[in-house]
Structure 1
Amino acid sequence: MSKMVIFDPAMCCSTGVCGPSVDPELLRVAAVIESLKKSGIEVARHNLSSEPQVFMRSKAVSDALNERGVDALPITTLDGKIAKSGSYPTNEEFTRLLGVSVEATKPAKAKLTIEWQHLDVEGETCNRCYDTGENLAAEIKRLNRALSPQNIKIEYIDTELDGTHISDSNTLLFNDVPIEDILNIEVSQSYCASCSDLLGTKTYCRTIKFDGNEYEDIPAKAIRQAAYKALNLNEDSSDTSESSGCCCDGGCSCC
């Protein structure tokens, strides 16, 4: 089979699928390449910002850059010869150039169900659960943006608990598996003033230890990692502080 290589313009990561605003075209290309990989077809990619020497080693690519500059990128080569320059191959061009079926470029359908179990007292929840809910809402938006081109659907379930199930409050399940069984998370309990006020009795509720830090809520970083791990996917992102919506500007470990 012919060898395809894509020479990308300078991007923040190997696929460009990161940051607060992701180009849909980059999402499409990443999804197609991942689908091809699952079909046993490897498409190599090189990023100008991190691998400039690879660009110079290819005479065809080097000549194109000397002639047109970075406007020539992205460049797709097939067996060392330029097959397309200035834009990425369409899905149809991928199939034609590689001699594969259309099905090989289509991502398999998948679904990730995220269930959040939390205390609810007449429409109110505790401060810890509220913060987890805010983190979860932001991460679901981010996951949908990143995973929808791969034909992965995120299904969200909000399960409200009363005071008799306080030990289960602020729990996240990914495809019915608790987050602490997916990641290296230790669960414990501590006094919760907010729950105590809502329930009218001294109450202890969940805390977690993740990445060496103690949290009363479930941080965005843990939610994101658990989602990708539950789907058996690798997260490709070099800048999580911008994409998570966190206000810490990357100065803490929460995102």
Structure 2
Amino acid sequence: MNVELDNVMEIKKLKKSFDSQIVLESITFSLQKGMIYGLLGANGAGKTTIIKSIFNLITPDEGEIYLFNEAVPQSVDQYKKIGSIIETPVFYENMTVEENLLLHCDYMGEQFKNNIDKVLTEVGLFDVKKKMIDQLSLGMKQRLGLGRALLNEPELLILDEPINGLDPEGIIDFRNLILKINQTYGTTVLISSHILAEVFKIADTIGIVSQGKLIKEVSKKALEEMELDIEEYYLSLVKAGEHV
């Protein structure tokens, strides 16, 4: 495969089956440096399988994944350039916010301990760094998960269903944080969600996944120019994709 040097990640013809069930069918897309790419699809569409394949947690049957121009799996250093939230982040409840982040730095790199106060300030949690995890709301835990993902100054941020369970205010806060991080640091972001409106608000490019297929890839600019009802457009694509 020819790798585009300005791409942070490339996925080519990814296929995966569990027993006789096809869960990914020839998935191909790429992320250019500095973009926000949204994977949009219903629960069970295949989004999490794609993301687990990126982290080598699932071995695809066919296809190639490249991170920073190196094939996956290649080296631990590839993953040290990535921050991630996979659904609801998990913390040690009997430890403080700060202690959890210090523990994370023990295996990501001692040098990142100097970033703790910075990322806590970034996600609005500096004033609670001495609080125990069980004292935090769900929204605060999600923001802490984002802070932990940012500790290693990642070039790529991968977020799998990061706003599940958040109330409307928490969703707005989280969305604004992602946009701020992308715009301030140029961090490339891959975000998956089944919440249609949020993906369209945040992503530069949207890949619509249905029944294991990437049925459409479209830019935000193109969507705005079409002046279509977004929900109707999405449903028409999914319906058409089901009959391909």
Q: TM-score, normalised by structure 1?
A: 0.25
| Larger CA Rg, structure 1 vs 2 | 1
Q: TM-score, normalised by structure 2?
A: 0.26
**Higher relative CO (CA 8 A, sep ≥ 6), structure 1 or 2?**
2
